[in-house]
Amino acid sequence: MNKTYKLTKADKEELNIAKSLLENPGIAAKITNFIGKPIEKGFEMLPNDWRDKIGDITTKTLLKVSEGTLLTMKDVSTKKPSNIWHKLGVATSGGVGGFFGLPALVIELPISTSIMLRSITDIARSQGEKINTTESKLACLEVFAFGGASKSDDSTDTGYFVVRSALAKSVAETTEFIASKGIVEEGSPVLLKFIVNIAQRFGVQIGEKAAAQAMPIIGAAGGALINTMFIDHFQDMAKGHFIIRKLERKYDADFIKQSYLEL
């Protein structure tokens, strides 16, 4: 039997906030606006095999932080996430990356991604997520797949909900695997498949960041600022994502999606 729902005024306002966050311009547009030059110029300065390298680095990074950071985190009460401290940490690692350029990405990315993941979990807990559950932990990793709005978006039903739908099967398989095994085995094919799906989307944004930092004018200070923009972007994605999940727990997933699209 279908239940009829109606959003409260406060919940509708929160849904509006979530939509405005999730449909903000992607990181490439923000970086281009900051440096005042099209990011394509940075792509031209990257080595020919940079796509493969970044893809490999991104997948290894997400595997490392998921097994070493996320799956060991405890569920604690967080009323207000520590966004500022996490931004400072990422800015510091970004300064190193900006100074040494693309070669430093191998060292800088795992550090900055781990800090961003801790920030994401902080935001998740502030929205009522129980981080000790596998579903919530995978939802934190999902945030790296959200890129915000892009010029190619031609309808509301692109971006956020399409990405979640694309990841749904992989999330379900990984959750079932962890439930049956009790722990995630290192290099397990189910977790690897999920990470690869996330990395394919996250890697695009890593590439955009690398392209910006490849420009000679960037340097250490610019690298720190770009990393601050980077974490700010994913903090926005996390807040929007976990507001949606909170409302889905209160109402119904299909109802919240429809309400989101109708805003």
* Mean pLDDT (the chain, rounded): 79
Does the pLDDT at position 31 exceed 80? no
Most confident of 37-51, 114-128, 146-160: 114-128
- Higher pLDDT among residues 70 and 151, named by residue: 70
* Whole-number percent of the chain with pLDDT over 90: 27
pTM of this structure:
0.84
Q: Report, as an integer, the average pLDDT of 87-102.
A: 55
Q: Where are the domains of the chain?
A: 9-146+155-262
DSSP of the chain, one letter per residue? -PPP----HHHHHHHHHHHHHHTSBPHHHHHHHHHSS-THHHHHHS-TTHHHHHHHHHHHHHHHHHHHTGGG------SS--HHHHHHHHHHHHHHHHHH-GGGHHHHHHHHHHHHHHHHHHHHHHTT--TTSHHHHHHHHHGGG---B-TT--STTSSHHHHHHHHHHHHHHHHHHHHHHSSPPTT-HHHHHHHHHHHHHHHHHHHHHHHHHTSTT-HHHHHHHHHHHHHHHHHHHHHHHHHHHHHHHHS-HHHHHHHHHH-
